[in-house]
Chain A
């Protein structure tokens, strides 16, 4: 167990600022998720922490010790790669024991450790197989087993679920969270999938263009987005943003409801012309335009199916949002303006 800290770390590839002055602290035993769109520097930040890249500037601190100049093997971190990077010529057992052999552990101790790790991920049956004889989900477990077997101070997981199909991904997410709780090892987890981030993270750091935009618990990130990027990156569908003078105001689709169900003393009303209705099983998505505005304001309402109100495309309805659900952002900087309300 350890803390991991990035101190004003930067990594530039020629002109590209892959990581651009990031300060970040993963607390002891924490599950910290790095969330951001593809190409925002998540993998590069992980590689900096692992020691696979040398920073252009800044330091990496693990457990209070500056490790910037140490090679990867001296940092005692474990990394699971997006491709899993299993050794194709070695059996599963040899793959898992590789880190142990590298530190010169006794043969008996190695066998016990491999069995322990294999049992933890339910892959005892595959120990004699080669990676190519395994399915995607099984490979992912082998990669995790190889990561935990050495009991590192930090786990670095780079989109470990992105190669799995949707169903497997859900169960794997569960197991991942469970084993991290059990081991209580500090974990940094990279993903571009906001649902995964919300479900797994103790805290989430939202990255964009090599910078940390906001860091906080899933509730904070969702409920108090710092700027329009976070507001529109998190949530599905994303927050509605409507232009109004020198600012935007925004509200979540699920906070935007017909007056007859959503009304309360602090409601703000909007005339809403519906253009399309989508049924998604548990929810209905209602697409439309806010009327009486200079600029066309396209917004979406997400209504759970227990709201029976009939909504038909082409009609006008009276929709409301509660005042405290309305966020206001500066139009130029995109920053959240505090104490908002209309």
Chain B
């Protein structure tokens, strides 16, 4: 035994290999960037907003006193908060439902072989890679109260009557629908790419076996493709929920929460209260209401990761 160890030592490795094989040194080294990132960019702001939410801090003053749950009482008592909460849920659920439908259709279409496939794939990815402010300008024009492309096209095709002239961003229900449409347009590419990756990971043999076993298109899709795609679909949905639930860009750019706060979501309401209204404590309290949902999403993620580890 001793001779064997001695022999092993004589076979000297370079310092590089020694470092690469030293797990005790290696794992803290590898984890350090992630931990640093979480502490600085996630942990610190989160603690700060927890801290703010129980204080009376404002943008303009230097004093800061502990006020307990007063901010939360104030937030819950406000009408706009409840509108924002309801809108956030509608915004998230409705947009993610349609994202799922469209992304599935697109992913299936794109997984088939046809000429010019890469071009179509590129075009579909464009909304995801293009800056949202750029896209928003286009959408502002589409929804414009005077120049609305939809209205002019609708009238030219006589779908809209001569006196129908919807103000897309000015009427509460239409404004909400408009915002949801833009969010769908934003998230669909990401979901499509995720589902496409899932589709290509299903071996062709399995589709072929189902075809030989007598299954037609619908049976293959519903009983083979969808169930096999389920775990990755869940990933796409969770991403979509996180991105939509916490998102303020679309609402901010299109309606600024208007008309009369009817399209506020939690993220914009926190921003308007805390930054523009100067009430940092109130804004922090509003934004903390996003937290439970995101925790739930994170837990589902972890469960999912665990399950795929075990199998």
Contacts and interface: CB of A to CB of B under 8 A. Distances in A.
A148 interface: no
Interface in B199-243: 203, 205-206, 208-216, 219, 223-224, 227-228
Contacts of B211: 51-52, 71-73
Contacts of B228: 88-89
B213 A52 contact: no
B: contact size bracket: 10 to 19
B148 to A, nearest CB: 47
A249 B161 CA distance: 92
Interface residues of A, number: 25
A81 B215 contact: no
B185 to A, nearest CB: 32
B227 A102 contact: no
Contact of B205 (A78, A81, A98): A81
A339 to B, nearest CB: 47
Interface string A1-24: 000000000000000000000000
B5 interface: no
Nearest to A98: B213
Given A73-B214, A99-B213, A146-B213, A83 B224 contact: no
Contact of A132 (B206, B214, B311): B311
A85 interface: yes
Given A83-B205, A87-B224, A98 B210 contact: yes
Contact of B209 (A51, A79, A150): A79
Contact of A85 (B209, B216, B223, B311): B209
A326 B208 CA distance: 47
Contacts of A79: 208-209, 212
Nearest to A52: B208
B212 A50 contact: yes
A98 B227 contact: no
A109 interface: no
Contacts of B203: 83, 85
Contacts of A50: 208, 212
A73 B205 contact: no
Contacts of B209: 79, 81, 85-87
A47 B209 CA distance: 11
Interface of B: 203, 205-206, 208-216, 219, 223-224, 227-228, 311
Interface of A: 47, 50-52, 71-73, 77-79, 81-83, 85-89, 98-99, 102-103, 132, 146, 150
21 contacts: A47-B208, A50-B208, A50-B212, A51-B211, A52-B211, A52-B212, A79-B212, A81-B209, A82-B205, A85-B206, A85-B209, A87-B209, A87-B210, A88-B206, A98-B223, A99-B214, A102-B214, A102-B219, A103-B214, A150-B213, A150-B214
Given A81-B209, A87-B209, A88-B206, 6 more contacts: A47-B208, A72-B214, A73-B213, A79-B208, A83-B203, A89-B227
